[in-house]
Amino acid sequence: MSHEPRILHHLKTAIGLGFVLLLAPAATADWLITLEGQMIETSGPWIVNGKSLTYIDLDGARQSLQLADIDLEASEETTAVKQGRPYVPSTSRSESVPVSEDHKAAVTDEDARITLYMTSWCGYCRKAGKLLKSLDADFVAKDIEKDAKAAREYRAKAGGRSGVPLIDIDGEVVRGFNERAIRQLVGKLKQEAG
């Protein structure tokens, strides 16, 4: 019996295995989003340990961050999107969403004197939304990555600068999360409304 059929068999097997490997999903990284908006690609999943979070960086080194500096919900959403799978929010962290659907419905664009321009992954946008809620301020949140009209409004108000959040409080623009300025302008607006 000739070796040729056996070699041909091994060659076909190797080619078939090569195609399977090409079609197999690549090992996917996870992503961490800090409250400052920094995106960190990890080599595999991260682990929450009490008040810290550990992960393996792309160089294979173990890293640790304070949990308080990480936007876990945005990290989970970004990881899901980049891995091509649907994102299902964790019910335990649903309170971190800056604006609920019922809040959005309470204030229309025409009535809004406060507009929060934000993105879904931005931790400081979430903080701004929470602050506005805590001040009992009626506001509309607009995601500039999901709403083209909001993106145009944002660019017009940003004056050539970039970065979120951007908050328009009755015509006064606050760039970034500036708690003091937000509190002052909301207070001023409420005083005027009497």
Q: What is the CATH number of the domain that holds 109?
A: 3.40.30.10
pLDDT tens sequence for the chain (194 residues): 455 566 665 556 555 545 444 444 444 678 888 877 788 988 888 887 778 888 889 998 999 988 778 877 778 888 888 888 876 665 433 333 344 443 444 556 667 899 999 998 888 999 999 999 999 999 999 999 999 999 999 999 988 888 899 999 999 999 999 999 999 999 999 898 87
> Contacts from 182-191 at CB under 8 Å and sequence distance 24+?
182/128, 182/131, 182/132, 182/135, 183/131, 183/135, 186/114, 186/132, 186/135, 186/137, 189/113, 189/114, 189/137, 190/137
Check whether residue 167 and residue 187 sit in a common domain.
yes
- Report the domain count for the chain: 2
| Residues 57 and 77 reside in one and the same domain | yes
pTM > 0.85: yes or no:
no
Q: Which two tokens stand for residue 61?
A: 């080194």
Task: Tell me the CATH number at 85.
Answer: 2.30.30.100
Residue 1 sits in the same domain as residue 88: yes
Nearest to 128 by CA among 96, 155, 156: 96
Same domain, 5 and 84: yes
Q: Which domain holds residue 26?
A: 1-92
